[in-house]
Amino acid sequence: MPSSPRASAEDLSDRIKVSFEFFPPKNGDMENQLWESITKLAPFQPDFVSVTYGAGGSTKQPTLKTVSRIASETSLAPAAHLTCVGSDKASVDAVAREFKSVGVKHFVALRGDPPEGVGAAYQPHPEGYANGAELVAGLRAIDDFEISVSAYPERHPESPDFATDIDMLKRKVDAGATRAITQFFFDNDLYERYVERVRRAGIYIPIVPGILPIHNFGQVARFSKLCGTSIPDWLARRFDGLEKDPETRALVAAAIAADQVTDLVERGVDDFHFYTMNRAQLVYAICHLLGLRSGETPAVGAAA
């Protein structure tokens, strides 16, 4: 990472906007953990909180329940992820309208990974939306939603080159996307070069960096390999020997993520999306290190 002087936390606190991503719980214990995380992070007053959606609608009901509860029991703005893989257009549109009926005004529109997982060959449904751009257009035809889409600083693993990848992003923007959120990355130079490519292509929506605090380096390294995210040597060295030392590992992870965000702020970035993994402690520590302080706590209902 660059060694230039860092801005103070006080300097950053009024310049940074944040949003948080959660995933729907699979059982009661996970639901309690989710709502504990939402409650802890809500005082940072994020622009929005998003809830993921499984391929082919595999988490439709848990996602719907979670975003509905966020909309009705908190003052947070919920965004529902929506994918089109494995579903026909009518089914996807029906889900979008169902989310709309519980107060969702913001979608994170994604093509989605194949049911077999990241890296498997993608086959569009014969009567479905073929890609993210078509899904954005379908959502736009239903209502004037805010629509976020994905972006890939190291290009999508299925794209043959950056030109193809950025052309798809432009198609999403032309269809009505209002923001792009990136795949997580650990090299800020890669993000900066990607944004330069995007701007040269005539794309001017916000390109919000997705930040992944590292709870388990081994898991992150394995997933990074599947999705085409590079792991810098310096990052691997930071976690070397900490496999059985969770306390130190958490301190290192918080420092790395805070340093990454601070460096991005110095490069002119002021909007960040955190992949929380439904675990609030690291994200809370990072936001605190950056000078963000909890305001008046938004009302959050007790977990069921």
Among 21, 3, 13, CA closest to 211? 21
Task: Give the confidence band of 5 by pLDDT, cuts at 50, 70, 90.
Answer: very low
Helix, strand or coil for residue 259? helix
CA atoms of 135 and 88, how far apart (whole Å): 11
| Residues with catalytic function | 21
Both tokens of 170, joined, read 């432009």
Task: Give the confidence band of 9 by pLDDT, cuts at 50, 70, 90.
Answer: low
Task: Pick 8 or 279 by higher pLDDT.
Answer: 279
Query: pLDDT by residue (tens digit) across 242-291?
Result: 999 999 999 999 999 999 999 999 999 999 999 999 999 999 999 998 88
Q: Is the pLDDT at 237 greater than 80, yes or no?
A: yes
Least confidently predicted of 1-5, 29-33, 80-84: 1-5
Task: Give the confidence band of 2 by pLDDT, cuts at 50, 70, 90.
Answer: very low
Burial of 266 (0-12, 13-18, 19+ CB in 10 A): middle
Task: Give the confidence band of 303 by pLDDT, cuts at 50, 70, 90.
Answer: very low
Alpha-carbon 64 to chain mean position:
18
Domains and CATH numbers, the chain: 9-289 (3.20.20.220)
Q: Is the pLDDT at 24 greater than 60, yes or no?
A: yes
**CA-to-CA dists, residue 6 to 3, 9, 111, 208, 258, angstroms:** 8, 9, 38, 21, 11
| Mean pLDDT score, 5-23 | 75
